[in-house]
Amino acid sequence: MPAEGSTVAVEWTSLHEHLLFLLSLESLGVASFSFMKSAARTNLAYLKTVDLVICTEGSVPEENGPQLVLTERGIGDHLAREPQGPPRSAPLKPSTPVRVQHTSGTVGAPKRMIRTAEINEFRIGQYLFKEGYSRHSRFLVSRTLVIQALYGRAVACLRMGGACVGGPDDIFENVRSNGVTHLSVLPTDLAAILKHLPAGYAKPEALTVATFGGRVPLDLRERALRDFATDLIESYGTNEVGSVCTVGPDGVGSVVPGVTVEVVDEKHRPLIGKAGRVRVRSPGAVAAYESDRAATGRMFRDGWFYPGDRGVMPDPASLRLLGRDDDFVNIGGLKVDCVEFEEQLWRVVSPEDLGMTNIRGADDIDRLCVALVLGPSSTLDDIKRKIAPFFSPNLGGIVLTQVDRIPRTETGKIRREALRALLEKPK
C-alpha cells in the first residue's frame, strides 16, 4: 500500500479502471500521475522518481523502479487480495499533494505541476458552479483522464452522485444509449463531431457541451446548439490556474467567482479598456513548475500567473481575449492576429485541421503561411481560391502548404514555434 505523501504513476487503460486507481490514491493522501502507454518512454526520467508505477506489462522497463503490473485479468487480482492493514480514512490536509499535472505549458516545453487538495477542491467547485452536475448527470469522457480538464469534470460529476461513461467510439450512439447529459471537448473535436453528424440524428433533450483549450467560432457555436447540444459553455483557463472565465457568443468572458484577472501594460500597471497582457490570481493556481525555475520566474510573479495571452477588460469583471503573444506575427511591420484569421478560414474551408504562422523565406523575408491537413476531397488549389479574399495584398502573398498534422498542446492550442520549425525544415 503506498504511503501517505508518496507519488504513484498510473497508466491509462480504461475509464473506470483509471478512475478507481486515482480516487483510491487520493483517499490515501497519495499523489497520482497519469500517462499514456504511447508516452511512457518520453516520461521514463520522471517515472524513475515516483514511488510506484501501475502499468501494463512491458510499458515501462522493470529496471526503471517499483511496479504494479496489470495482467490481462485487470485489477481483479489485486482487489481479491486481503487488506494489509486497517483502512486509512483521515481527511486530507489542504497542502497535501493529490495530483501531478503534465503539460506542454504556455511556453512550449513540457512541465509538471503539483496540485494540492486545496487546489483540487477549488477547481472541482468551479466545474460544479459552471456546468451544473447532479445525481442525474452522465458525463461522457471523450478522451483520456490524462487531460486535466476531463479529470476534474469527471470527479465533479461523481461527487454529485452522477456517473461517468466511456464506451464505443461512436459518440452519437454513446450519447443516445447512455443518456449522456454532459460532454467536454476541444473546439476542434466539436467541429469534427458536427462534420460527421449522422443523417436524421435526433438532438438530445438535454446535453451540455463544455469546451476548453481555445475559442469557439460563432458559426460553430450556432451549429452545435442547433443540431447537437442544448447548452454550450465555453471556458477560458489554463492548466496552471484552472478556469478563469466563461465566454459568451460575443467573445467577452465573465470572470468566475474567486478569481482575479487584470490586463496590464509592460510595467505591470492595470489597464481598463486598453489592450495588454493578461495576468491571473486564483486559489486554484499552482505555485510553480516543478524542476523549471527559469519558466517559473517568467510566468509566476508576485502571486500572479502570466499565461502569455493578450486581452482587454471592458470592466473589472469582464475579459475579451485578443490572442496569445505568439498568436500575433509580424509581417512587414503589420501585426497579424493568426487566431482571428484561423476562425475566418474555418468558416469557408473544411480541412481536417489548419494553423497559421510566419515563416522565413529564402530572401530572408517573413511571409504568412497557412498549413492545412486536408481531407480526401480537398485540394490546395480549391482552398486557395476560397481564402484569397481574406488576405490583404499588403501582406505580400500567402504561402499555402499541406502537412500531416498541426502541432498542438494536449488542450488543443497550436504550438506555433513547433509549426514554424516544421514548415521551415529542409525538405
The confidence score (pLDDT) of residue 108 equals 47
Residue 427 has pLDDT above 50, yes or no: yes
Number of continuous H segments (helices) and E segments (strands) in the chain = 12, 25
Q: How far is CA 349 from CA 257, 372, 378, 392, 394, in A?
A: 38, 10, 9, 18, 23
Pick the CATH number of 332-424 from 3.90.260.10, 3.30.300.30, 3.40.50.300, 3.40.190.10: 3.30.300.30
Q: Where are the domains of the chain?
A: 1-91, 332-424
The confidence score (pLDDT) of residue 105 equals 44
Under a CB-based contact definition with an 8 Å cutoff, are residues 207 and 229 in contact? yes
Under a CB-based contact definition with an 8 Å cutoff, are residues 401 and 372 in contact? yes
Reported as a single tens digit per residue, the pLDDT across 15-37 is: 999 999 999 999 999 999 999 99
> Which segment of 31-45, 64-78, 273-287 scores lowest on mean pLDDT?
64-78
Query: Which bin fits 121, alpha (ψ -120 to 50), beta or left (φ > 0)?
Result: alpha
| Model confidence band, residue 222 (pLDDT cutoffs 50, 70, 90) | very high
| Model confidence band, residue 294 (pLDDT cutoffs 50, 70, 90) | confident
Residue 373 has pLDDT above 60, yes or no: yes
| 425: Cα within 13 Å, side-chain hemisphere | 10
Report how far residue 148's alpha carbon sits from residue 237's, in angstroms, rounded to the nearest whole number: 12
Reported as a single tens digit per residue, the pLDDT across 296-328 is: 888 899 999 998 888 999 999 999 998 777 777
Residue 331 has pLDDT above 80, yes or no: no
Q: In CATH, what class is 1-91?
A: alpha beta
Reported as a single tens digit per residue, the pLDDT across 81-126 is: 666 666 666 688 999 999 998 765 443 456 889 999 999 999 999 9
The CA-based dihedral angle spanning residues 383, 389, 392, 393, taken in that order and rounded to the nearest 10 degrees: 80
Under a CB-based contact definition with an 8 Å cutoff, are residues 260 and 285 in contact? no
Give the bridge partners for 270, in sequence order.
264
**Shortest CA distance to 68 belongs to which of 78, 54, 81?**
54
| 397: Cα within 13 Å, side-chain hemisphere | 6
> Which segment of 12-16, 25-29, 285-289, 397-401 scores lowest on mean pLDDT?
397-401
Reported as a single tens digit per residue, the pLDDT across 143-202 is: 899 988 999 999 999 999 999 998 667 899 999 999 999 999 988 889 889 989 999 899
Strand ranges of the sheet holding 97-103, from the earlier edge strand across to the other edge = 67-70, 52-56, 7-11, 31-35, 97-103, 111-116
Give the bridge partners for 271, in sequence order.
263
| Model confidence band, residue 217 (pLDDT cutoffs 50, 70, 90) | confident
The beta strands (E) that lie in 24-96 are given as 31-35, 52-56, 67-70
User: 423 φ, ψ to 5°?
Assistant: -75, -30
> Which segment of 7-11, 36-40, 173-177, 336-340 scores lowest on mean pLDDT?
336-340
